[in-house]
Amino acid sequence: EIVMTQSPATLSVSPGERATLSCRASQSVSSDLAWYQQKPGQAPRLLIYGASTRATGIPARFIGSGSGTEFILTISSLQSEDFAVYYCQQYRNWPLYTFGQGTKLEIK
């Protein structure tokens, strides 16, 4: 099983500033890495797949980068609607597509 580790667990950032979220895989997942956003009471929403490709309708301020075992999700100029929990997921190891434990992005 590939273990995904996200850091930090909680990130406090002011609106308008940049947020940087990290995700590390216990072994290489190449670029088979996705990011999801989840708001309270809602299902997760796909933001990024292929480590850096934005899903349909996702604003350009969401930027994914990395490959192998180290990945970053950058959210530039945070909007109020961006405060949520973010999960990374590897889909390299079929079919056990493991998730990170999540990073809660909160308003500073």
In the complex, the residues that contact other proteins under the rule CB under 8 A are 32, 34, 36, 42-46, 49-50, 55, 87, 89, 91, 95-102
Rounded least distance, CB 105 to other proteins, Å? 15
Nearer to other proteins, 15 or 59 (CB): 59
Rounded least distance, CB 16 to other proteins, Å? 28
Structure tokens at 99: 């998730």
Helices within the chain (DSSP H only): none
Cis before 44 (ω within 30): no
Nearer to other proteins, 16 or 41 (CB): 41
Rounded least distance, CB 5 to other proteins, Å? 12
Nearer to other proteins, 19 or 51 (CB): 51
Residue 4, burial from CB neighbour count under 10 angstroms (0-12, 13-18, 19+): buried
DSSP 57: T
Strands 10-13 and 103-107: parallel
